Amino acid sequence: MNTQTITMEQAQQLLQKYYGYPDFREGQRRIVSSMLQGTDTLGIMPTGGGKSICYQIPALIYEGLTLVISPLISLMKDQVDALTTAGISAAYINSTLSGKEVNERIRAARQGALKLLYVAPERLELDWFREEMASVRIACVAVDEAHCVSQWGHDFRTSYLAVAPFVNSLPSRPILAAFTATATPEVQEDMVALLQLRQPSVFITGLGRDNLAMSVLRGEDKRDYILNYAATHAHQPGIIYAATRKDVDDLYERLRQSGIPAGRYHAGLSDQERDSSQEAFLYDDIRVMVATNAFGMGIDKSNVRYVIHYNMPKNMEAYVQEAGRAGRDGEPSECILLFSPQDIMTQKFLIEQNPQEGERKHNDYRKLQQMVEYCYSPNCLRWGMLDYFGESHDRTPCGICSSCRDERELVDMTRDAQIVFSCIHRMRERFGVSLVASVLKGSRNKKVLQYGFDTLPTYGMMPRRSEREIAELINALIAEGYLALSEGQYPIVRLQQPAGEVLKGQRQVMLRALEETTRGQNAAAGGSSRRRSNSYIDENSAVNETVFEQLRLIRRELAEREHVPSYIIFNDATLREMSAVCPATESEMLRIKGVGEVKYRKYGKLFLEFFQNME
């Protein structure tokens, strides 16, 4: 048996001892193996996919310190709380500490008393910190949220550019590992180049999480939907994202007026109110958080059961990061995007408010258009996500997203498509979706008359459809590849090769029945025939809810005693397995995923006593 095999066996034993899992997930196993071989490694795994374990387990085996570069104070604290709770020596250094506390933690690192030390990337730019770290035996530098190093990523931070110079300044170069949940191929190239990874092993794994039911809903009354959903899921923690502070404040007030305990989080609030809301949410004192995208990157809360986007996010990276905060414990959860055409204008406004120019702004518009196409796509939403990030997959529909569960029939839309394509051609492919829709509707607005489009043969050829419905049809044709939009603030719609085949009668266009066509029928039937996503959670909840709630009470008491969020004691998935198995002995309790030897000694006996007293 070679040394590498022995080391992986050791890693698996540590995984069971400290985390309570009998084996690594496949993606984790390959990354841990790579790092234990001393190879620079780039790991791209979904939010909730267990990235932290990939560098925490090797850190326990390495002789020396693992320095973790982490972007947010709250994220550091969460990670260190979880590690120390599990019996692993870890600490962080950030601006909340006094000079004395910082010196004590550096001394502990120098003496080998710490296995992991978390710092922000900005600290790497400080001369005194670099000097101190030169006297510490650093075995590995792990870079979390590594996409921040790329200007093409959605959270570019110049301080991440200090990582490579810092690593190169150390007396002995450590292993360098980088991790992120979302990275397009161009961002992957940037991470390798800008972090100066040496012949790295690159692992892209499982971005499409089986426990998340993705939904895009169009044409909903958004406020009513939010209020109804939050009320019917009052026992489940959830996050509602909105694009503007105004929308956050409005939804927050409406939820509270409806008797739903909610918090809010955005940059316009005081630090005290933001911190108070965040803590109340983490400790389950409130179940709903309404927030802008300022909230979430540092939140490791594992039992978020739903994430609703009140507005379409600016790009797919942001959406996957935010939606991925649901179901980090592996339990069935929902990610719902409430889309309306106004969302496009909101995001364009936000892009224009940003001072960046040139290629960066051009790139933002391109990413926004890809997000719009995702919202209109009739295909499996998981496919769309995996294709965007360049992850290979077998094109098997996920079966649980809103597209896969869409029961609307496919309709032959060839004639309507030909009319649309003909109109765009006659307008010389120089205008956007809205004006094409106005011409097809037969509008007499100023711009239609100014360009003489009221004289075109296609003018007014869709009088029975609203302009909004015609625009929906055009966007569906864009999502299907018949049309394309130019990039920029005012995109122009252009014909693609398949549209020419349709115009020549060589190709048929089959689309789902348009939303507005079916909405009136569905309303009479008491709801949308296509919206079945809520049942996804219910179908998979075959555990004893009474026992589960009693276990949650025990966990809450322990969490209050330890001054940590409840999910750090045990996550919901662990409690659900307990409530299904009802362990009666120590060995049975240790077989529950997420318990582990250390946590059993600290907390497990209370839960075991509960089950023994049930008999």
Would you place residue 519 in the very low, low, confident or very high pLDDT band (cuts 50, 70, 90)?
very low
**Eight-state DSSP code of residue 507:** -
pLDDT of residue 514: 66
What one-letter code names the amino acid at 101? Answer: E
Residue 515 confidence class, pLDDT cut points 50, 70, 90? low
Instruction: Look at the chain and report how many structural domains it folds into.
Output: 4
**Any idea what the Cα angle at residue 95 is, between residues 89 and 97, rounded to 5°?**
55
197 with 273, same domain: the answer is: no
Final residue in a domain of this structure, among 173, 204, 235: 204
Residue 14 lies in a domain: yes
Main-chain dihedrals φ then ψ at residue 302, nearest 5 degrees: -90, -15
Give 56's pLDDT tier (boundaries 50, 70, 90).
very high
Rounded CA-CA distance 55/36 in Å is 10
* Shared-domain flag, residues 229 and 199: no
Alpha-carbon distance of 191 to 185, in angstroms, equals 10
Q: Which helix (H) or strand (E) holds 223?
A: helix 222-232
Is residue 237 domain-shared with residue 368, that is, in the same domain?
A: yes
pTM above 0.85, yes or no: no
The pLDDT of 359-383, averaged and rounded, is 88
The reply to whether 181 and 132 lie within a common domain is yes
332 and 453 share one domain: no
Q: What is the pLDDT of residue 531?
A: 43
Among the three residues 466, 490, 524, which one is the final residue of a domain in this structure? Answer: 524
Instruction: Render pLDDT for 523-550 as a digit per residue (tens, 0 to 9).
Output: 333 334 344 444 444 444 445 778 888 9
Q: What is the pLDDT of residue 575?
A: 92
Q: How many CB atoms lie within 10 A of CB 368?
A: 24
What's the first-to-final CA gap in the chain, in angstroms? Answer: 46
Q: Give just the sign of the alpha carbon dihedral 257, 259, 265, 269.
A: positive
Residues 245 and 263 grouped into a single domain: yes
Contact 241, 313 (CB under 8 A): yes
Instruction: Tell me 379's DSSP state.
Output: S
Q: Is residue 607 part of a domain?
A: yes
> Looking at this protein, which amino acid is placed at residue 341?
P
Whether residue 404 lies inside any domain: the answer is: no
Least confident of 43-57, 103-117, 136-150: 43-57
Backbone torsions φ then ψ of 470, nearest 5 degrees: -65, -40
Give yes or no for residue 74 having a pLDDT over 90.
Answer: no
Residues 195 and 317 in one domain: no
213 confidence band (pLDDT: 50, 70, 90): very high
Question: What average pLDDT does range 485-501 have in this prediction?
Answer: 88
Whether the CB-CB separation of 27 and 35 falls below 8 Å is answered with: no
Angle at 479 between CA 209 and CA 527, to 5 degrees: 70
Under a CB-based contact definition with an 8 Å cutoff, are residues 559 and 285 in contact?
Answer: no
373, part of any domain: yes
Question: What does the pLDDT read at residue 136?
Answer: 96
Report which of 558, 562, 563, 567 is spatially closest to residue 604, judged by C-alpha positions: 558
- The identity of residue 572, as a single letter, is D
pLDDT-based confidence at residue 112 (cuts at 50, 70, 90): very high
Q: Do residues 441 and 583 share a domain?
A: no
CA-wise closest residue to 59 among 51, 49, 67 = 67
Token pair, residue 308, equals 């609703």
Distance CA 550, CA 548 (A): 5
Of 433, 438, 417, the residue nearest 511 (C-alpha): 417
More confident: 266 or 357: 266
Closest-CA residue to 241 (of 286, 187, 277, 295) = 295
215 three-state secondary structure: strand
Helix (H, G, I), strand (E, B) or coil at 218: strand
Q: Are residues 426 and 280 in the same domain?
A: no
Is there a domain that residue 403 lies in? Answer: no
pLDDT for res 525: 33
Backbone phi, psi, residue 412, to 5°:
-75, 105
| Residue 536 is assigned to a structural domain of this protein | no
Domain housing 300: 212-388
Task: Clarify whether residues 434 and 498 are in a common domain.
Answer: yes
Of 40, 43, 14, 22, the C-alpha closest to 31 is 43
- Nearest alpha-carbon partner for 159 in 126, 200, 135: 126
Q: Looking at the structure, tell me whether residues 197 and 231 fall in a common domain.
A: no
Q: Which of 604, 548, 538 is nearest to 581 (CA)?
A: 548
346 within a domain of the structure (yes/no)? yes
The answer to whether residue 50 sits within a structural domain is: yes
Last residue of a domain, one of 489, 524, 559: 524
CB atoms within 10 A of CB 452: 9
Strands annotated E in 340-377: none
- Among 208-212, 230-234, 399-403, 587-591, the range scoring the smallest mean pLDDT is 208-212
Tell me how far apart the alpha carbons of residues 423 and 414 are, in angstroms, rounded to a whole number.
14
d(CA 415, CA 394): 33
For the stretch 293-345, pLDDT in tens is 878 665 678 889 999 999 999 999 889 889 989 998 888 999 999 998 888 88
Residue that is written with structure tokens 């394309």 in the block: 484
CB 25 within 8 A of CB 157: no
Whether residues 439 and 489 share a domain: the answer is yes
Averaged pLDDT, 470-475: 91
Q: What phi and psi values does residue 277 have, to the nearest 5 degrees? A: -65, -45
